[in-house]
Structure 1
Amino acid sequence: MLATLERIELLEDAENLARMVLESDIAEQYQICLYKMQHNKETQRKINQFVKLKELYEEVQRFGKYHPDYKRVMMQIREYKREMDLDPLVAEFKLAENDLQGLLDEISMLVGGAVSSHIKVPTGNPFFDTKSSHGSGCGGGGSCGCG
């Protein structure tokens, strides 16, 4: 019975943490940027144009330079991606997305570190990965100290 109550308390704490993240300024900024990006016709045109060409790009990739439209598609995909990435609303959204991801990475590191310094927390962010005291792990040629 005790383990069940403890588990429920942990789940409630996790829900409270999630609620705190959702109510943070960082998450609010992310939601605002997402809304602006999704409701701007010109931005959506650029995104849809890129997505449509991306499907053709994936087909061309299967055949590589032997595909008859290889050069044209490769040039267009770069142009469309650049046009989409330079859109102010897309750029603003990407910054907000990175900020939110950074917050989630920090939380993951704190939770993992609170359990054990040997917990690996995959963040996808080299800054946080180097903060782990476990280093490169068991596959790192014995540098983890467990061997």
Structure 2
Amino acid sequence: MLATMERVSILQKAEALAEMVIESKIGQEYFELLYNLRHDQGAQDKIKKFTSLKDLFEEVQRFGKYHPDYKRVNLEIRQVKREMDIHPSIAAFKRAETELQAVLDEISHRIGHAVSPFIKVPAGSPFFESGSSCGGSCGTGGSCGCSA
């Protein structure tokens, strides 16, 4: 594939758009909270604890309820995950990450649909966008509350 001046121009405009997102209030907040998260030792300890427990959980999941530590590990990982999720630095970062993702999804959607309304644009989590837990293609005819 040869690089044409048109492609180079498009890539330069995409880089300029990315720079605008980075310099935006949402982008700056995201990077500030990421920095805070990386330098918060309490948050890092909770993340490390969760990660190590997650490895154990995955091993236990291979055997399911027949593993001797299944209940203990299952309960413990839920408690550790909850503690991690409510830590102020982690919760603030996750909110900022979600806001930034929404902006990036909107940009992708607008660019894709400016080209053609039939272009499929991957964006966000379909579980949260449709207002239901299935994403709209569950095969129940909408009885689960989706927009099937």
TM over 0.5: yes
Q: Secondary structure at the match of 2:119?
A: coil
Structure 2 CA distance for aligned equivalents of residues 80 and 91 of structure 1: 14
Report the Cα offset of residue 85 of structure 1.
0.4
Residue 114 of structure 1 corresponds to 114
Q: Is contact 1:49–1:80 with CA below 8 Å preserved after alignment?
A: yes
Q: Give runs of aligned pairs for residues 1-147 of structure 1, distance below 5 A.
A: 4-126=4-126
Q: What RMSD over aligned residues (CA atoms) do the two structures have, in Å? A: 1.9
Cα separation, partners in 2 of 1:4 and 1:128, compared to 1, 3 Å: farther
SS in 2 for 1:92: helix
Q: CA deviation at 1:124?
A: 2.8
Number of the residue aligned with 1:139: none
Counterpart-to-counterpart distance in 2, 1:106 and 1:124: 10
Give the TM-score normalised by structure 2. Answer: 0.81
The residue identity in structure 1 corresponding to 2:56 is: L
Task: Specify the structure having the higher radius of gyration (Cα).
Answer: 1
Inter-CA distance 95–128: structure 2 relative to 1 (3 Å threshold):
closer
Distance across 1 between alignment mates of 2:100 and 2:127: 15
SS in structure 2 opposite 1:52? helix
Structure 2 counterpart of 1:121, one-letter code: V
**Structure 1 letter corresponding to 2:74:** M
The 8 Å contact of residues 112 and 120 in structure 1, kept in 2 or not, is answered as yes
Contact 2:30–2:100 (8 Å) recurs in 1: yes
User: C-alpha distance in 2, partners of 1:114/1:11?
Assistant: 17
> For the residues of structure 2 that align with 1:4 and 1:74, how far apart are their CA atoms?
55
CA contact (8 A) 1:50 1:84 kept: yes
- Indicate if the aligned counterparts of 1:22 and 1:28 stay in contact, CA closer than 8 A: yes
Where structure 1 has 5 or more consecutive residues not aligned to the other structure, the ranges are 131-135, 137-147
Structure 2 unaligned spans of 5+: 131-135, 137-148
Q: TM-score, normalised by structure 1?
A: 0.82
Superposed CA offset, 1:22-43 (max 9, x none): 1111111001111111111111
Distance 2:128 2:8 in 1: 30
Moved over 2 A (4+): 124-130
**Rounded Cα–Cα distance in structure 1 between residues aligned with 2:128 and 2:52:** 35
Identity of aligned residues (%): 57
